[in-house]
Each structure stands twice: as C-alpha cells, then as structure tokens.
Structure 1
Amino acid sequence: MTPTDEAADSVLLRTEGRAAYLTLNRPKALNALSHTMVRRVDEALTTWEHDPAVETVVITGAGGRGLCAGGDIRSIHADARSGGDASAAFWRDEYRLNARIARYPKPYVALMDGIVMGGGVGISAHGSVRIVTERSKVAMPETGIGFVPDVGGTYLLALAPGELGTHLGLTGVPMGAADALLCGLADHFVPADALPALAADLAAGAVSDVLPRHVREAPEGRLAADREWIDHCYAADTVEEIVDRLLAAGTPAAKEAAETILAKSPTALKVTLAALRRARDLGPLERVLEQEYRVSCAALSAPDLVEGIRAQVIEKDRAPRWSPATLAEVGEADVARFFAPLGARELSLADNAPQEVPW
C-alpha cells in the first residue's frame, strides 16, 4: 500500500451540502493517529477552509467504539527503542494541527463519542463545537505509560476549574460526559443514537440552528461532588504532598486516587505537575504546545516511556518497572531536563492565539 492509499483508507473525506465530513478510519486500532493521518487531516482542513461551499467541518471515528484512542504508541515505542526521530517529526505536525484546529475559521464539530484519549483529545477538544455522549470516555492517560499529557492537554487541563485538571492529569482517569463538560473539554451533550441525525442535519443547516434540536442535559457526573477534596489535595506543591493529602482525606475516592497515582511513572508524574503549573502562566495554546514538544522529545530518551508502553501495550503484563522507581528518587534536575530548550529543533508556532468563535 502506498502512502497515498494509506491516507485515503485511514481518513475518509466527503462533502454533502454545507458540511464536510472527516472520519478517522482505523477501527481495529481504535482510530489511533498515524503521521499519515495527521497530514491527511491537515490537507483536508486546508482545502475546506478555502472552499466557500463548506460551512462546517464534522469529525467522527469509525467502528462505533470511539473517536480516537490517541497516537500510534506502538510506533512511538519502536522509534524510542531505536533512537529514531520519527516520533519527534510526528509530534511536530500533530501539534501544529492541534493549534490549527483551535483557530480554524469555520465551525469544527467534533463528535466525541466513545473513547477519546490522548491524541484523540487533541484532534477534538480544541474544536469550536465539542459533542459528548453517554458513551464518552475522555482522558489524558499518559502518566500510565511513562509519558506526559501533550497535544495541548496540559493547556486544557490547566484551564479546568480548581484543581480538577491536576487530578485528571496525574491519575489519567477518564471523564464521562458531564465531567468533560464541567472541565471545559466539551460543550454539549447529545445522546449517541442522535449523532447520525445531528451530522446529517449539518449538511442542510447552520450549527446554531441544528444544535438546539439535538442537545440534551447530560447524566450526572462524579467530579462536581468531589471538588472539595480534589481542590484541597491537589493544590499541594509536590506530588508527594498531593499523595499524602489524598491518603489523609478520609474518603474512599481520594484513597483510590492516591493508589492510582502511585502506580504511575514517578518521573512522568513530577513532570506532569510541573507542566500543568507552567501552562497556567504561558498564555495561548501555541506557547503550551511548544513546551509540550520539549517535554515529549525529552521523554523519548527517558527509560519510562519504552517501559510503560511495553508493560501496558506490547507485552501487557501491567507491571512496569519504573526508573527511578519512587517519587523520592526523582530530583529537581530530573524534572528540569524535560523543559530544556531544544535549540534548532524547537517547535515554533504562530504568535496568534486561538480566536473566540460564536458556535
């Protein structure tokens, strides 16, 4: 199969009436993003941006299990093991696409049904109209594979109310519809069985006219009721203190969060906390993506990324051997190296921040 054939098969494109439809089409891999797919999406957005017949772009995932489970981490694992540069090249284009989606001049409607994780969040949650359903599972689970939230994930999580983003970034736990709405990663709830009608209606009508016919109230979530202990515990300055506060909080949910955190990569946890705190002060999405690019490139040469993917995805023994193995062994210098400038390899994005859009 040629690269052109692969792109055509893995990302399906069509236009109908006033809308253009983009379907991620790797259902056996939960629509995980390859470099070829990222380029295909970017090329389509360029075409549709300049096509006056296209008023709305709709993105969905094939297979019925989810929009996108993230990047192709098997490829990242192979690249990291070999010391290659394919992952850095992939992230460069992926993060540019994330920034482009955030400032796309036409309504970008993301149907975030089912699993939406990692790169799936990047290709959807920066859009102007983000739809979740009762089946949505939205997450940035990178600390579980020795990695750090990227694709603008630290930007989105840093904007979540209180310390909800810190909780989600460290634990990697998935959000349902109501929690995604609360945290600002989604805009509207539409029942899953109504998505085909919503998508079809966008071919004939404007987003502002179509949405009210399909939007409903989301089922109750979990995070709103947990805000008190989450905001207190995760306001601590270090991961160690966060864990101590969670264990002392006296609630089963807080204890469960502490246990979840302690199973993740100690290095990834400390870098994630630093990245989230820095993201709050960096300004627009582009600046945060530039920081994430430094962090991601540094992770390629750190042992935990290869080990985490091995344990969770390749061999699936679910028993990663992190190095260092404990939070106490991860020093300030170990964290600082993830944020070191890359010199000529820096990702430099446009200065214009994402624009507010009225959809």
Structure 2
Amino acid sequence: MKWLPQARRLAHEVVRPESRWHSAVASVPRHSFVPRWWEQDGETWHLRTGADDPAAWLQAAYRDQTLVTQVDACHADTTSNRVVEGKPTSSSTLPSLVVRMYRHAMIADGDQLLVTTGTGYGTALACARLGDAQVTSVDVDENLVKLAEERLAVLDARPRMEVCDITGPLPGEYDRIVSTVSVRPVPVSWLRALRPGGRFVTTIAGTGLILTADKTADGGATGRIEWDRAGFMRAHHGGVYEHLPEGIWKQAAQGQGEKTSTSRYPLLYPPDAWDVMSMLELKLPGIDYRRSQDGDTRTVWLLHPDGSWARATAHGFLESPVVHESGSRRLWAELDRIRNRLNREGALPVYGAQVSITPDGMATLTRGSWQTVL
C-alpha cells in the first residue's frame, strides 16, 4: 500500500516541519500497528479489518484520530467477534496528542524514556526520535506487549519491552516517563524510577488534566496542570476491567430516587465541559456518565461506584432539567455547586494549578485560595 504519502500528510497536519517529531510522524507506518480496530455505533462496537478495505484502512490510520483497539478484554486483533459491547480499554491515541505529551515531557537527545505500549505506535515514534536503545515500553497486558514488539521488529526497532503494571515497580531508571494511560494517585514507583531532575507526564484519571512534574531533591516532585487537555483511559491492573454494579444502573434508569428537584441550569453532559467534569471528578472520583435523547427529550445520568446516582431530564433545550438523586452523595447538587462557582468567578481553578507531590505520592493541587489533594 502507498502509505508513505499519507504519513507525510499527517505529519504536516499535526507537527511543524522544524520539529524533531515531524520526521518521526512522517516515517512511521501507523496502519501497521492498527490492522483491526473497533468503531462505535450507539451502545455497540463493530470490528473493522484493514485488509478488507485498504483504502478505508489508510484513511482511518492517517487521520488525526484515536482508534480503539480493545473493548473490555476483547482485542480487535485476536477476537472472533464482529460486534461487542463494553468500554474501550486500549487504543492508538491520536498522533497529535502523542506528540503533545512528548513535548510536555521536554525530551532531550540523550534521555532514557519510559512510555506506555498500547498498540506500539507511540513507542515507534519515540524510537524514531531517540533511537530504540533509549526507549523502554511497558504494558500490563502481555498480549499487547507481544503484538507491539513484533510490529516494531518489522520496522527494525527493538526497544526494551516489558510486561508490568505502570503503577507498580518499574524496570529501570529514567529521565522521562510519559504515560498515555491516566492514573490516580501519582504512583510512588515513578518518583523512585526517575533520575534526579527527571520529569513525568500523565493525566489524572477521570479528568481532562495533564500533569507534568519534575523530581525534587527530597524524592518528591513539583509541577503544574498544563494549559492543555487530554483524556486517556484509566490504567488497569492485571487484566481487570472495572464496571459499575448492574443494580446501580437499574435503579438510576427509571427510579424516583430519594430526592427530586429542578436544576437552575440548562442540562449539561459533563464530558462536554472538561473543566467542569475535572472539578467534579477531583471531588467525587469514579463517576460514570451516560446520556440518551428521544426527540427533544434529553437525559443525563451520573453514576458513582458507592451506589449514588443522579438522573436529569429536560424536555427541550431551554427547559431546566428535573433531577432525581439517590445514595449517600448528591451528585447533581455537587455539579450545580461547581457551575455556581463557574458563573460567579468566570472560570474554574483546575487548569494552571500548581502541583506539589510528596515522596510518598500525595499530590496537592493549588491555585489561589483553591486546593485539593489527590
């Protein structure tokens, strides 16, 4: 297939020509790392196979978009299923975001770099930029590591590949750690594996917040929440994929709940407002968001692992939603408090916050009078 012109076009779209990442994006065959992927249609995911439609394969692979490669434990490369349901758990991240994460890391030519594996595309970019001897790539899923290693070898790239939990002990010492899975809290193992003055880049689980931090002399780190945003899948552990108890959804779908009220604000689906969602997740981590629409009637659900839930329904786009809530936490009330602050102050304090991390991994975010601890 004539993929090279497509890769060059992608590089021109996502990277400045003078960037050292430009040649990496222009020369790495992304399609070879994503021969099969999942495309979502409502609640279901449909398998796409590149060999069945090479033109569509090239179009998908060399577009600046994320391609989902695994839903729950069902990997596109190894499954016999054509249709599945569940949550995405592994993907090929959109190339522009991979490059942005690497830029936040401020990688120098001689740095030893640890990255997360996924499909191996991000690892291939790092090898093209630094050389494979300076790159270590890790994933908790042995099959993902094996597939990526095989595809990298075809390109004559042989970085160190290891099967390990990114939140646990790491196989060496590094100048930079770039995680394209989200975490909470900051793993202590990162602080221990970083060399003096080393930097890590990650996202906080459930938020759109990119955290960069540099190791300090006491073994902790200082950094900030970047004026940028990204959302990555949560780090998982040993093939375990967490789901809410089914009973929560059954109650939230139609139940009256313990409290009924009318919100003062128009209906909001929090993932559409990243700063609002991030503030809510920092206060109440683990919320699952769902929505539906039937004509002009729209419904949004907030579901928490402790059994709390909220359902807000609005008829028309100008009507305030009626909210039903249940459980130990009033999820929609907390959402409205955040929106009150946004209206009162004109902004929320999450982006640009300073971050201080102790050697045992406790991270404190501060901006003005606002403070929160991960």
TM-score (norm 1): 0.30
| Structure number with higher relative contact order (C-alpha < 8 Å, ≥ 6 residues apart) | 1
TM-score, normalising length: structure 2: 0.29
Structure richer in helix, relative to its length: 1
Please identify which structure carries the higher strand content: 2
